[in-house]
Amino acid sequence: MPEPFDLKTFLADLPHLPGVYRHLDADGEVLYVGKARDLKRRVSSYFRKTGHGPRIEHMLARVARTEITITRSEAEALILENNLIKRLKPKYNILFRDDKSYPYLMITDHEFPRIVYYRGSTRGKGHFFGPYPNSWAVRETIQILQKVFRLRTCEDSVFAHRTRPCLLYQIGRCSAPCVGLISKEAYQADVERAINFLEGRTTEVMQDIESRMMAAAAREEFEQAAALRDQMRALAKVLQQQTMEQVGDDSVDIIAVATAGGRVCVNLAMVRAGRHLGDKPLFPTQTQDESAEEVLAAFVAQHYADNPAPPVLVCSHALPEPELVELLAQQQGHGIRLLTRPQGTRRTWLEQAERNAQLALTQRLTQTSAREARTLALAEELDLDTDDDSLEALHIECFDISHTAGEATQASCVVYEHHAMQPSLYRRFNIAGITPGDDYAAMRQALNRRYAKAADDLALMPSIVLIDGGKGQVEIARQVFVELGLDIGTIVGVKKGDHRKVGLETLVFVDGRPPVALGVESAALMLVAQIRDEAHRFAITGMRAKRAKARNVSRLEEIEGIGKQRRQRLLARFGGFSGVVDASIDELQTVEGISEELADRIYHALR
């Protein structure tokens, strides 16, 4: 057994050094993670002064022990603090739930570089531009580069095996380097111009295109001059369509915080190389008694722990800890300025970010109220706890089975939690070893695979398990739960009404409760229908993808002379089934084991 925690001795022994502290409850769960320049002063303040906000007071009432980690500097403590927050997700820290990395635009390291949407580490080969606030901004930029500089976007495997230009060349979106319609030198020059454009040197790019156009006209190469004229017009049109004024090669992040109705929105807008790339609203949790300044500080610390910071941050509020910027500068390896009273265009950007933050928050409050009302209605119908914490934690999983005449059977499991669907927690189960079309056996297999571990750890169990089906499917679920020793009271079947009419569904149970007919206007039914329909959609899309893959493979193997090895070689060489379909007879012959006769047979069999 661990020794009792002696708070008085612990506080007396704390060092006057930088580090990270963690407050834990009696079960060892981390409640809160914080950093400190001086651990003794910071940690002692929790236990020696009053006047904390309700959230911290509530947390302190549950603290059973505190642990510390000493670091070499406050900057190192900042990094460790945010790594722990992201990994542990402590209940009383301000949390930003959007854990996705921000997207980049990458120009690959290739003889004929490709432009591509990219997420992940930027330490590899190639040129990386960003980060961008959302995927739409990256794809819009890719379209601009296609229109103006005609750079390729195709996969390297497709590029290496083209024998004729693709449709993008026909519509003026690619210069077709794959078939030699542009030299390596000329294509590389277009890549350099695209890089200059992305780095904000648009005037330089325009002047270059104009001088080349005039030179081509002087040489009476009028076709080339016309092409350059069209390129210059396309670039000019792009620049005119920018919704925000450009400011040279300015790179700035604009961060606006809006509060209303007990909720907070942090809106992040990004300007890179003078181009306003758009913005992204984020909605942190655990902000009940935190000021806008404290929320801003939490965002800045967490966001820039994983993402590069530009040299200028324009913020709607001041940071409560001004030294945070100095710590970030140490971490990032370059100077960072924070502005709260910007002038000129930067002021316009901040005002726009503040308006967007307020608008996003208003929309979220409206949507959240409706979602919370649905969760509350369902909890009341099922006689569950209806306090705010219980509703926030209500975890629903729903299963559905999908196949086509017994082919490509899949089960889907979707998750509803925090008043919203949680796609990152969805699961698919490929069903095998059953009689084709046996939905009961498929459901039994899916439930066993999903909840086998829950028998040893009940924390893995959801609050409700929705089964899209009538008495038969629900009985299978009951049998599985009894075999695993799980609570059958969590099982809720969704039985369709007469003639499968929407609104006449009934909730059925296996623990003795009578069925519940919710009614057409029921908010609870709207939630159940939403979850059930999402499970159905998720199952169907998975089944169709599996079926298409199986049919493509079988189409190849049905060709006389094509076995497993030759099929694998073909798919590897051409980057998938569609690449094999597009390949010419001569290209097919380049694959090991494919003769001219067999190549001809494959070519005509796939058409």
Rank 85-94, 106-115, 383-392 by mean pLDDT and report only the highest. Answer: 106-115
In whole angstroms, what is the distance from residue 199 CA to residue 273 CA?
5
What percent of the chain is predicted at pLDDT more than 90?
Answer: 19
Look up tokens 């780095």; give the residue.
199
pLDDT at 521: 74
Helices 74-88 and 323-332, packing angle to 10 deg: 90
In whole angstroms, what is the distance from residue 232 CA to residue 230 CA?
5
Helices 135-149 and 184-198, packing angle to 10 deg: 140
pLDDT at 540: 79
The three-class DSSP label of residue 78 is helix
Look up tokens 């006389």; give the residue.
560
Mean pLDDT over 363-387 rounds to 86
The beta-strand segments (E) located in 71-151 are: 104-107, 115-118, 127-129
pLDDT at 444: 92
pLDDT at 144: 82
Report DSSP letters for 220-264, one per residue: T-HHHHHHHHHHHHHHHHHHHT-SS---TT--EEEEEEEEETTEE
pLDDT tens for 101-149 read: 688 889 998 999 999 988 877 777 888 887 888 888 888 888 888 888 8
Contact 129, 268 (CB under 8 A): no
In order of their start, the domains of the chain are 7-88 (3.40.1440.10), 107-240 (no CATH), 252-364 (3.30.420.340), 395-547 (3.30.420.340), 558-605 (1.10.150.20)
In whole angstroms, what is the distance from residue 206 CA to residue 231 CA?
9
pLDDT at 237: 62
Query: Exposed, middle or buried, 147 (CB in 10 Å: 0-12/13-18/19+)?
Result: middle
The mean predicted confidence, pLDDT, of the chain is 82
pLDDT tens for 228-259 read: 787 777 666 655 544 444 445 678 999 999 98
In whole angstroms, what is the distance from residue 70 CA to residue 303 CA?
23
pLDDT at 545: 60
Task: Pick 449 or 213 by higher pLDDT.
Answer: 449
Span between the terminal Cα atoms of the chain, in Å: 72
pLDDT at 406: 55
Mean pLDDT over 462-473 rounds to 86
The model's confidence at residue 607, banded by pLDDT at 50, 70 and 90, is: low
Q: Where are the alpha helices (DSSP H) in 288-381?
A: 292-306, 323-332, 344-381
In whole angstroms, what is the distance from residue 279 CA to residue 137 CA?
9
pLDDT tens for 54-89 read: 778 888 888 888 989 998 888 788 888 888 888 888
Q: Is residue 549 predicted with pLDDT exceeding 60?
A: no
pLDDT tens for 4-59 read: 677 888 888 889 999 999 999 888 889 999 888 899 998 898 887 666 777 788 88
Residue type, 103: P
Contact 538, 414 (CB under 8 A): yes
Specify the DSSP class assigned to residue 450: H
In whole angstroms, what is the distance from residue 29 CA to residue 24 CA?
5
Q: Could you check whether the bond before residue 165 is cis, i.e. omega within 30 degrees of 0?
A: no
pLDDT tens for 255-312 read: 999 988 778 999 999 888 777 888 889 988 878 778 899 899 889 988 887 788 899 9
**Tokens read off for 188:** 């590389």
Query: Is the pTM value of this prediction over 0.85?
Result: no
pLDDT at 563: 76
Q: Is residue 313 predicted with pLDDT exceeding 90?
A: yes
pLDDT at 247: 47
